[in-house]
Amino acid sequence: MKVLIVGSGGREHAIAWKVAQSPKVDKIYCAPGNAGIEQVAECVPIGAMEFDKLAAFAKDNAIDLTVIGMDDPLVGGIVDVFEAEGLRVFGPRKNAAILEGSKAFSKDLMKKYNIPTAAYENFSSAQEALEYLETAKMPIVLKADGLALGKGVLICNTLEEAKAGVKELMLDKHFGNAGNTIVIEEFMTGREVSVLSFVDGDTIKIMTSAQDHKRAKDGDQGLNTGGMGTFSPSPFYTKEVDEFCQKYIYQPTVDAMKAEGRPFKGIIFFGLMLTADGPKVLEYNARFGDPETQVVLPRMKNDIVDVFEACVDGTLDQIELDFEDNAAVCVVLASDGYPEHYEKGYPIEGLERFENQDGYYVFHAGTKKADNMFVTNGGRVLGVTAKGADLKQARANAYAATEWIQFANKYKRNDIGKAIDEA
Ligand code: AMP
Ligand code: GLY
């Protein structure tokens, strides 16, 4: 089989690595890919938003299955373009990817189908949003409706901050049209858990749980980033939590999408908060998480291509997902200054130490090849993942492995997985 993966980050490197384990697969392409992905796939210089070029490439090269990693092309309708060409593709159509593409849509869906989430109102008029805030309880959360690189969420402690937030999102348009509509929602407290699932339109199968660290600095300080590290499983995701979510969140979401005439096939990533009133949905994503994928897929025992195909074919009920009874931790090695200003182009040393080291992985996010050497080429440079018998061991292994790698301006958080100690 020939497989094409669309995307270029650490998540796509992890997907490509996992696809490469499948005995069914002879050839993997990745568009546009990155220098690390090049080790397991042939990278093709077509952008993730160039749908027609990607579909033409898939046709010309007799690709058997295309897997979309990123949110933008999914929300933009890449799956519809591929399907119209008769190509097999894993991911939700545009009318289902809206689950991630519009927060107003997803909130209305949850309300209509009684799926637990924070109380909220949607606004497309800044004037009305500002009036509503006058009597609202603080802190409060403002969310740009559309995709904003995970940065369109503002947590406001005072009325002044909230008003400034409305101005930023709706009037100054910091996130462009993503802020034409905003969701204003109740502030919740509790532990956050990410749960990834495979969905075939009817059936949903949960992978394992994980937790992300979104802030740039230790102690959850600093700016929001794409994710500075993850661990899996979450010790807070207990059997009781799972039973509750299976009953009130996971299948109800899939059934709701079907009932709305928007059957969802692909990955649903549930961003959950475990509140005192039970688990509630913070957000939905319509794709694998980054860097959740870098801790979830190394623990997965199934041939992932079988699972992708079962989702496409609607036969997921015949698949039993199987995960190793261990743990994994991923620590992101970033360029100092990320997510603001940082420099690129520094040589990276030590990557070869990961070759043939069972249970240790280095997934590339922002690297490129220059003069036959890997150099830094982004804010998030590498994700170093290690497995261990339990979370503490995995964390110790992952941090030890971060020392194998050297590059100028290397930056990491030192407390990835610290929450484990409180479990
Ligand atoms: P989202 O992109 O919707 O997951 O929001 C990004 C982050 O903002 C989440 O991971 C939470 O840490 C925080 N957040 C979002 N919604 C709320 C809420 N209603 N209450 C408290 N924190 C929130
Ligand atoms: N790690 C969060 C995300 O992928 O959205």
Q: Label each residue of the chain as H, E or C.
A: CEEEEEECCHHHHHHHHHHHCCCCCCEEEEEECCCCHHHCCEECCCCCCCHHHHHHHHHHCCCCEEEECCHHHHHHCHHHHHHHCCCCEECCCHHHHHHHHCHHHHHHHHHHCCCCECCEEEECCHHHHHHHHHCCCCCEEEEECCCCCCCCEEEECCHHHHHHHHHHHHHCCCCHHHHCCEEEEECCCCEEEEEEEEEECCCEEEEEEEEECCEEEHHHEEEECCCCEEEECCCCCCHHHHHHHHHHHHHHHHHHHHHCCCCCEEEEEEEEEEECCEEEEEEEECCCCCCCHHHHHHHECCCHHHHHHHHHHCCHHHCCCCECCCEEEEEEEEECCCCCCCCCCCECECHHHHCCCCCEEEEECCEEEECCEEEECCCEEEEEEEEECCHHHHHHHHHHHHCCCECCCEECCCCCCHHHHHC
pLDDT digits (tens, 9 = 90+) for 88-102: 999 999 999 999 999
| Tokens 């107003």 -> residue | 104
pTM summary value: 0.96
What pLDDT was estimated at residue 304?
98
Residue identifier of the C-alpha nearest atom 4 of ligand 2: 289
Pocket test for ligand 2, best of 290, 297, 380, 416 (most atoms within 8 A of CB): 290
Cis peptide preceding 139, ω within 30 of 0: yes
What pLDDT was estimated at residue 419?
86
Residue identifier of the C-alpha nearest atom 5 of ligand 2: 289
What pLDDT was estimated at residue 129?
95
What pLDDT was estimated at residue 328?
98
C-alpha 271 to ligand 2 mean position (Å): 9
Residue identifier of the C-alpha nearest atom 15 of ligand 1: 282
C-alpha 44 to ligand 2 mean position (Å): 25
Low-confidence ranges of the chain (pLDDT < 70): none
Residue identifier of the C-alpha nearest atom 4 of ligand 1: 283
pLDDT digits (tens, 9 = 90+) for 254-303: 999 999 999 999 999 999 999 999 999 999 999 999 999 999 999 999 99
Nearest atom, ligand 1, residue 271 CA: 4
What pLDDT was estimated at residue 149?
76
What pLDDT was estimated at residue 413?
98
Nearest atom, ligand 2, residue 287 CA: 4
Task: Tell me the C-alpha to C-alpha distance, in Å, between residue 207 and each of 94, 113, 244, 300, 377.
Answer: 24, 23, 16, 8, 31
Contact 19, 3 (CB under 8 A): yes
Protein residues with CB under 6 Å of any ligand 2 atom:
150, 212, 227, 285, 289-290, 292
Residue identifier of the C-alpha nearest atom 18 of ligand 1: 187
